[in-house]
Amino acid sequence: MNINDLILIVKKKINKSLLVENIEVQDKTFLHKNHKSHNEKKFHLKLIIRSSELKRMKKIQSTRKIYSILQDELDQYIHSIQILIH
């Protein structure tokens, strides 16, 4: 999987499952290239999501919701994910 395909999948799955006004997905893998645990096949992503639906939830609930939506990608392609909700 390349990063551009992964970003498209992440956006599509989140938009399909949640009421989202805007979503930005950033590749932050380059920040971790020299880490011992770095795996070339897994990526580090930063999600910036504007969603009134998620904003009404407690942080732990919104994080769990996103993790459940992206479970397959987290298992296979995402090493780390940072989530910012506005």
Helix, strand or coil, per DSSP, at residue 26: strand
- Asked if residues 45 and 82 have their Cβ atoms less than 8 Å apart, the reply is yes
Structural domain boundaries, residue 50 = 3-85
Mean pLDDT of all residues in 2-16: 97
Q: Is 79 exposed, middle or buried, given 0-12, 13-18 or 19+ CB atoms closer than 10 A? A: middle
CB atoms within 10 A of CB 4: 9
What is the structure's pLDDT at 38? 58
Domain count, the chain: 1
CATH number at 37 reads 3.30.300.90
Look at residue 42 in the predicted model and tell me its pLDDT: 87
Residue 33: predicted pLDDT: 67
The model's pLDDT over 17-75, given as tens digits with 9 standing for 90+, comes to 999 999 999 999 877 666 566 566 789 999 999 999 999 999 999 999 999 999 999 99
